[in-house]
Structure 1
Amino acid sequence: MTLRRHATSYAVIGIVQWLVEYGLMLVLSQWVMPVEPANVIGRLAGACLGFWLNGKWTFAGDDTHVGRHAVVRFIAMWIALTVLNTWIVAHLDDMFGLRAAQLLKPGADLLTGGIGFLLSRHWVYKKAA
């Protein structure tokens, strides 16, 4: 698989994931709860969708597998990136308020999404040796 095919597929799935994640974070943080748990819930919903789609479509190949090892690696990556993403969003909320955090969250998503792409391509979905 080429880098271009991986990146294009990851971006298409990422947009769908992001719409789920961001929409849920906006709704929950606006009416139900603080921005931090709303962000985590949104990221969890997007992650569940993205793990399977990226494993079966984006990174599918002879040297990849969507199984127990991929799940464990994905969870480790997701936790680390969610901590980073939520820290950024919370910091924005503390510094500039909820509206700014909601508006600037896509920047945090682009950063963590780029890191997630590299980790997924080179580590998460690779078959265990």
Structure 2
Amino acid sequence: MPLLRQGGQYLAFGLLQLALDWTMFVALTALGVAAAPANLAGRTSGALLGFWLNGRYTFAGGEGGRLGWRQFGRFWLLWLAATVLSTLLMALVEMRLGLRWAWLAKPLVEGALALGNFFLLPRLVYRR
């Protein structure tokens, strides 16, 4: 049951993160900001929300939330690797296919990264 509960919460919180991330990405690129910095801004806002929600609720465990500086440091290392990959992919899609395709590709790219993170976060980030 814990995996099912965690999966449901992770999905719900992930959708909130994606909405924030994607909205910022689309808004900033529509205002003329290049895809790479807009992606960085969107991912940063979504990441801060996700770190708190997932640490406080999804992967909290019986002893309560797992939010501390150690978890935050490990989170940002994982986030940095995913952000480099995401930003490269978004810039490539924009360059090759155009901005509108980048807007459509963003949820797919982030969804794929989120799937990997679901298995990495409790093992690498939210452990004590």
What CA distance in whole angstroms lies between the structure 1 residues aligned with 2:76 and 2:62?
A: 22
Structure 1 counterpart of 2:106: 105
Could you tell me the TM-score, scaled by structure 1's length? 0.93
Structure 2 counterpart of 1:58: 58
Write out per-residue CA displacement over residues 84-105 of structure 1, whole angstroms, 9 at most, x where no aligned residue.
Answer: 1111111111111111111111
Structure 2 counterpart of 1:84: 85
SS in 2 for 1:126: coil
SS in 2 for 1:61: coil
What CA distance in whole angstroms lies between the structure 1 residues aligned with 2:88 and 2:114?
A: 15
Structure 1 counterpart of 2:44: 44
Per-residue deviation, 1:32: 3.6
SS in 2 for 1:33: coil
Of all paired residues, the percent bearing the same amino acid is 36
Structure 2 counterpart of 1:21: 21
Write out per-residue CA displacement over residues 37-91 of structure 1, whole angstroms, 9 at most, x where no aligned residue.
Answer: 0010000001111101110100011477211110011000110001111111111
Structure 1 counterpart of 2:10: 10
SS in 2 for 1:66: coil
1:116 aligns with 2:117: yes
Aligned residues: 127
What CA distance in whole angstroms lies between the structure 1 residues aligned with 2:120 and 2:32?
A: 33
Q: Flag structure 2 segments of 5+ consecutive residues without an equivalent.
A: none
Per-residue deviation, 1:121: 2.0
Structure 2 counterpart of 1:126: 127
What CA distance in whole angstroms lies between the structure 2 residues aligned with 1:20 and 1:110?
A: 14
What CA distance in whole angstroms lies between the structure 2 residues aligned with 1:28 and 1:45?
A: 13
